[in-house]
Amino acid sequence: MTSLPSVSPPKKLGLVIDLDVCVGCHACVVNCKEWNTGGYGSALSDQAPYGADVSGAWLNRVHTFEVVPEGGEVVGEAGDARIVHFPKSCLHCDDAPCVTVCPTGASYKRAEDGIVLVDENMCIGCGLCAWACPYGAREMDLAAGVMKKCTLCVDRIYNETLEEVDRQPACVRTCPVNARHFGDFSDPHSAVSIMVAERGGIDLMPEQGTRPVNKYLPPRPRTALSATPPLPREDTTGATGFFAWLDDMLDRI
C-alpha cells in the first residue's frame, strides 16, 4: 500500500468553489476535458460519443439540486425552493484513502504541494482507489485501462511558458462567473484562505475524516435579496418609431 507524506506539505494547493454564484454552465467541465485530453497523461477517452449509450472519462462534473430549506438561515426563506449547482472533482485530501489503498503506488500525494496524482505507468486499473474515495472523484478510462482523476492542472500551474494569468487550473481560468478560485491554503494571507475565513468555507462530508483541501462556500441567504425593491418603470410616454412599437408589444405580454 502507498504511504502519505510523513510531514505536512509546505504548500497546500487547492480550490475554493462558491456555490452562491455557480450557474451550472458546465464551462469548467468542458474546458477540463479539453485540456486534460491534450495535456498531462494520456487522453481522456469517450466511448460511442455519437451513439445512444455514451460513456467517457470526465475529471470534473457539475450536479444540480433543488434545495428547499427549512429555516432560511443557509439558503433562503422557509419553503422557498432554490436551485444549487454543485461542481465536484478530486478534493486532494490530506488523509486521502485513495492513496493508502493503492497496491502499486500509482496513486500518491506530492510532498511539495499536496496534490494527489496517478502515475499511469504504475496503475493496473484495479479500481480500489475508486472504491475508497467517498466523493466518487475517480473514473476508469476504458480505453487506457487506468484510473483518472483531477490533477489540479499540475502541467499548467508550474508551466513557465504560459502567461502568468494562465498558470491556474483550466476550470478556474474558464469560469465565466468567478465561482472557482485557486491558491495555497497553507498561506493564511492567500485569497483562498481569506475567502474561507470570511465566508465560512466548509468541507464536503467531513464525517469521512479525509480532511479535503478543497473548500465550498455555501449559498448566501436570500432574505436580503427578496427585500430589494423593484426597479422603477421607465416612462415611455411619447416614444415614437421602433421604441413605441416595442413598448406596445411588451404591454401585450
Give me the residue spans of the domains in the chain: 13-221
Mapped onto helix, strand or coil, the DSSP state of residue 21 is: coil
pLDDT attached to residue 170: 95
Residue 189, amino acid:
H
Model confidence, pTM? 0.81
The answer to whether the CB of 44 falls within 8 A of the CB of 59 is: yes
In contact, 94 and 211? CB cutoff 8 Å: yes
Do the Cβ atoms of 151 and 117 come closer than 8 Å?
yes
The per-residue pLDDT for 139 is 92
223 three-state secondary structure: helix
* Rounded-to-integer distance, Cα 211 and Cα 4, Å: 13
With the CA atoms of 14, 20, 21 and 25 taken in that order, what torsion angle do they form, in degrees rounded to the nearest 10?
A: 80
Question: Which pLDDT score, from 0 to 100, does residue 221 have?
Answer: 75
Indicate the length of the chain as a whole number: 253
| Residues of the chain predicted below pLDDT 70 | 1, 39-42, 69-80, 222-239, 253
C-alpha cell of residue 78: 422557509
Strand partners, 67: 82
Note the pLDDT of residue 76: 47
Spell 92-121 as b/e; 16+ CB within 10 A means b.
bbbebbbbebbeeebbbbbeebbbbbbebe
pLDDT value, residue 82: 81
Predicted pLDDT at 28: 97
Cell of 151: 490533477
CATH number of 13-221: 3.30.70.20
Task: Tell me what pLDDT residue 232 has.
Answer: 66
In the chain the first and final C-alpha atoms are separated, in Å, by 66
